[in-house]
Amino acid sequence: MVKGDLPELLGATLVELNGSGTILDVCKMFWEEHEEELRSSGDLFYTWQYDIRWAATTLRKEGIMKDASLSKTGVWELSSRGSNQ
């Protein structure tokens, strides 16, 4: 796993959470599903919680996630475009 994989994996995690979740719930599920890969990813193991926020920004720019201003504070949501993945 490399940093560039995170947007796609984050999108898949949000799909599994029915399109939205608190940042805490998203990160918990992401860890549960990708712990082994993260542990063997070198420096990403130490930065993934920062980098997953970068991935969320990337998905917002691509229109896959709703803009932060359209969601409750601390909640990440797929847009209608992201929900169709």
- Identify the structural domains of the chain with CATH numbers, from first to last: 3-83 (1.10.10)
Q: Is residue 52 predicted with pLDDT exceeding 70?
A: yes
pLDDT confidence bin for 39, thresholds 50/70/90 = very high
Reported as a single tens digit per residue, the pLDDT across 7-20 is 999 999 999 999 99
- Per residue, the 3-state secondary structure of 3-68, as one string, reads HHHHHHHHHHHHHHCCCEEEHHHHHHHHHHHHHHHHHCCCCHHHHHHHHHHHHHHHHHHCCCECCH
pLDDT of residue 73 exceeding 80, the answer is: yes
What type of residue is 30?
F
pLDDT recorded at residue 81: 78
Q: Sort residue 54 into left (φ over 0), alpha (ψ -120 to 50) or beta.
A: alpha
Percent with pLDDT over 70 in the chain: 95
Average pLDDT for 19-34? 97
What angle, rounded to 10 degrees, do the helices at 6-16 and 23-39 form? 130
